[in-house]
């Protein structure tokens, strides 16, 4: 997984005439309890962007992802993945998406090879193509020596690698990473950073949710803040800092969640 990260110029927002990977319009999700997890979300991610979605727990990030991938049904609004309606044309929309969820949702009784093979078969890949792709991904994520092991024997870090490999198995054009480095060590986090930067540079559109702000700054061309089920700000890291009249993305986020007293600058002042 050796790949040197590069600081690329921030991509502009989706422009007229450009291919749009994800187009969300006035998305509402209301649960039977009456809770509105999403309240009229509008979001556009251009083909090839590395896009970050940041917000506190309960802000609506996971619900947005679940609606996009068919794990939840929108109450109203529209979701299009490369032009395919995610509800009316679910099969085509879902083929374009690879999802690496936050939860380690793997079958503990399958081997690594079987896990990837099953996923590829679900998405209609031919057996020979699956075999080649499995070998490629196991090598890319340094898992070849474990291919015949049951997934339950893997460490947490290796399970993270497997989940990302599984998400990429069917060669999706759009990859969703939901807290992909939660609970992993620094070495693995940097390895994953390098790999996803590479596949983005090769053309894969990526949507990242994370609580690690340095991760968003390092990887994302553009970032949106979501809070209380609404997109409240969007731009590059510098633009978001300017929106909140602060010096960094971290301070902008603290303004978003109403905890500006936790700013590193204020902590330094107290310490002095």
Tell me: the pLDDT tens digits for 147-168? 999 999 999 889 999 999 999 9
Looking at the structure, tell me whether residues 138 and 184 fall in a common domain: no
The pTM score is 0.88
Looking at the structure, tell me whether residues 35 and 86 fall in a common domain: yes
Looking at the structure, tell me whether residues 159 and 186 fall in a common domain: no
Q: 222-227 and 50-54: which strand pairing?
A: parallel
Give the residues across from 78 on adjacent strands: 25
What is the number of domains present in the chain? Answer: 2
Looking at the structure, tell me whether residues 127 and 157 fall in a common domain: yes
Looking at the structure, tell me whether residues 25 and 90 fall in a common domain: yes
Looking at the structure, tell me whether residues 167 and 184 fall in a common domain: no
Quote the DSSP letter at residue 178: E
In a domain, 269, yes or no: no
pLDDT at 4 over 60: no
Place of tokens 């693995």: 188
By CB atoms closer than 10 A (0-12, 13-18, 19+), residue 180 is buried
Looking at the structure, tell me whether residues 39 and 65 fall in a common domain: yes
Give the E-state strand segments of the chain in sequence order. Answer: 20-30, 36-46, 50-54, 76-81, 84-85, 97-100, 174-178, 205-209, 222-227, 230-235
- Supply angle C-alpha 129, 3, 9, rounded to 5: 105
Looking at the structure, tell me whether residues 160 and 42 fall in a common domain: no
CA distance 267 to 272: 9
Looking at the structure, tell me whether residues 24 and 140 fall in a common domain: no
* Domain end point (choices 171, 192, 222): 171
Query: 166-210: per-residue pLDDT in tens?
Result: 999 999 999 999 999 887 888 888 888 999 999 999 999 999 999
In a domain, 13, yes or no: no
pLDDT at 45 over 90: yes
CA distance 23 to 47: 11
Q: 120 lies in which domain range?
A: 105-171
């Amino acid at each position: 997984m050796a790949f040197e990260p590069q600081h690329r110029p921030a991509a502009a927002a989706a422009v007229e005439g450009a291919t749009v990977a994800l187009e969300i319009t006035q998305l509402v999700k209301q649960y039977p309890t009456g809770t509105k997890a999403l309240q009229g979300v509008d979001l556009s991610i251009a083909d090839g962007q590395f896009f970050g979605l940041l917000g506190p727990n309960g802000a609506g990030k996971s619900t947005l992802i679940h609606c996009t991938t068919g794990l939840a049904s929108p109450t109203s609004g529209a979701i299009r993945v490369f032009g395919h309606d995610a509800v009316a044309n679910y099969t085509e929309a879902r083929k374009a998406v690879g999802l690496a969820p936050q939860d380690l949702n793997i079958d503990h009784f399958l081997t690594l090879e079987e896990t990837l093979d099953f996923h590829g078969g679900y998405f209609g890949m031919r057996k020979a193509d699956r075999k080649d792709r499995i070998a490629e991904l196991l090598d890319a994520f340094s898992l070849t020596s474990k291919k015949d092991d049951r997934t339950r024997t893997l460490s947490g870090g290796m399970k993270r690698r497997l989940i990302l490999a599984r998400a990429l198995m069917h060669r999706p054009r759009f990859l969703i990473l939901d807290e992909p480095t939660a609970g992993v060590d620094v070495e693995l986090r940097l390895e994953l950073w390098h790999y996803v930067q590479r596949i983005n540079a090769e053309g894969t559109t990526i949507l990242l949710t994370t609580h690690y702000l340095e991760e968003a700054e390092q990887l994302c061309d553009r970032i949106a803040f979501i809070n209380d089920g609404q997109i409240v700000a969007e731009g590059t890291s510098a633009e978001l800092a300017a929106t909140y009249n602060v010096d960094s993305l971290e301070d902008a986020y603290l303004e978003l969640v109403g905890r500006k007293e936790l700013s590193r600058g204020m902590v330094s002042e107290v310490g002095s």
